[in-house]
Amino acid sequence: MTKTIVLTGITTTGTPHLGNYVGAIRPAIAASKDPTVAPFYFLADYHALIKCQEPERIRQSSLEIAATWLALGLDTANAVFYRQSDVPEILELSWMLSCVASKGLLNRAHAYKAAVADNEQSGENDADKGISLGLFGYPVLMAADILLFNVNKVPVGKDQVQHIEMARDIAGRFNHIYGEHFVLPEAVIDEHGATLTGLDGRKMSKSYNNTIPLFEPEKKLRKLINKIKTNSLEPGEAKDTEGCALFSIYKSFATPAQVTEIRQRYADGIAWGEMKQVLFEQINEHITPARERYEALLNAPEHIEMQLQEGAEKALAISVPFMKELRKAVGIARIGT
């Protein structure tokens, strides 16, 4: 059976929150248990350098993200779970791809264009002010992550679809010049990996500062849930589930039968305080076993490192010979070989 190769990277700049869990981590871990899928999941620490120049934050985030995935039961027997910087071939390939990617293509990347637009809006003379070469080349590094492992499918949010298209474009050019070396990857926009509502009713996102960290200790979790915005309807007044942040979050952690029951309680006028208690218990119950494993893992970082080293070995077993082939293809070789 040929397995579908699925790859995703997680930039190591923050602490995973409930939105990351529902939108990306939970579906990825479910996929890691699917025998028809060969998953490649990695800590994108080279990508982290593009937007973060705080070494301690990158170190801490790498630890927390790795511990999170392991605590949630990632099947590392099936999945290749590694740190990007343990696979230097990614950088080497990134250079080769830089030499076939057209600058005009990268000029059109959303992240770069948004940075230029910000400069223009603020009346800046230099449209490129504060934009690093790393940011400009971000899609090439991402293409290298993907093409090095001949990935078939890349689950992404809508904001990343353009990057996958660029990876296809760059792969096509390389293949055209040097022969068929790369598989063209496809973006899969995950429909179940729903977006979660945040504390203020907008999408839960680090950039809105409205997140609930995934493994927040119980007391703090309760406090944050109490902060979720509601309207001013009194207990006993019928309430609408539509547009309600509490309900929307509840739905992501409940069975369909539980959701039906809660709809009825809204119609019957459940008090907001009570609904917050229901939501807290639901999430807390769901998260507690993984939170315990997470805390144990943070106290045994050598165990996390060992898992990453095993992952790196599996990745290198593919990347090293493939890079040899690619070097040969472009004409980089020892004399006389």
Positions touching ligand TRP (CB under 6 A) are 7-9, 11, 44, 47, 142, 145-146, 154, 156, 160
Distance (Å, rounded) from C-alpha 101 to C-alpha 93? 12
Work out how close the CB of 206 gets to ligand TRP at its nearest, in angstroms, rounded to a whole number: 11
d(CA 48, CA 61): 10
Phi, psi of 121 (to 5 degrees): -65, -35
Structure tokens at 112: 């770069």
The least distance separating ligand TRP from the CB of residue 187, rounded to whole angstroms, comes to 9
Asked if 145 and 7 count as a contact pair (C-beta separation under 8 A), the reply is yes
Q: Compare residues 86 and 145 and give the one whose CB is closer to ligand TRP.
A: 145
**Minimal distance in Å, beta carbon 152 to ligand TRP?**
12
What is the rounded distance in angstroms from the CA atom of residue 101 to the CA atom of residue 320?
A: 23
User: CB of 52: closest distance to ligand TRP in angstroms?
Assistant: 12
Burial class (CB in 10 A: 0-12, 13-18, 19+), 18: buried
The conformation of residue 237, written as its DSSP 8-state character, comes to: S
Nearer to ligand TRP, 49 or 262 (CB): 49
Cβ distance to ligand TRP smaller for residue 148 or 245: 148
CB of 281 to ligand TRP, least distance (A): 31
- Report the alpha-carbon distance of residue 49 to residue 208 in Å, rounded: 21
Give the DSSP H or E segment for 49: helix 45-51
Residue 256 CA to residue 250 CA, distance in Å, equals 11
* 157 vs 217 by CB, closer to ligand TRP: 157
201 vs 213, beta carbon nearer ligand TRP: 213
Q: Which helix (H) or strand (E) holds 241?
A: none
**Tokens describing residue 250:** 């509840």
| Separation of alpha carbons 218 and 295, rounded Å | 13
Between 152 and 160, name the residue whose CB sits nearer to ligand TRP.
160
Helices (H) and strands (E) in the chain, counts: 14, 5
Cα gap 302→310, rounded to integer Å: 12
Taking the complex as a whole, the smallest distance from the CB of residue 160 to ligand TRP amounts, in Å, to 6
| Per-residue DSSP letter, 61 | H
Nearest to ligand TRP of 5, 262 (CB atom): 5
- The residue number with the shortest CB distance to ligand TRP is 9
Question: Are the C-beta atoms of 58 and 12 separated by less than 8 Å?
Answer: yes
Per-residue CA distances from 68 to 12, 142, 272 (Å): 12, 23, 31
Least gap, CB of 233 to ligand TRP (angstroms): 38
| Beta carbon nearer to ligand TRP, 147 or 225 | 147
d(CA 310, CA 312): 5
Kindly state the smallest distance separating residue 11's Cβ from ligand TRP, in Å.
5
8 or 197: CB nearest ligand TRP: 8
Residue 55 CB, nearest approach to ligand TRP (Å): 19
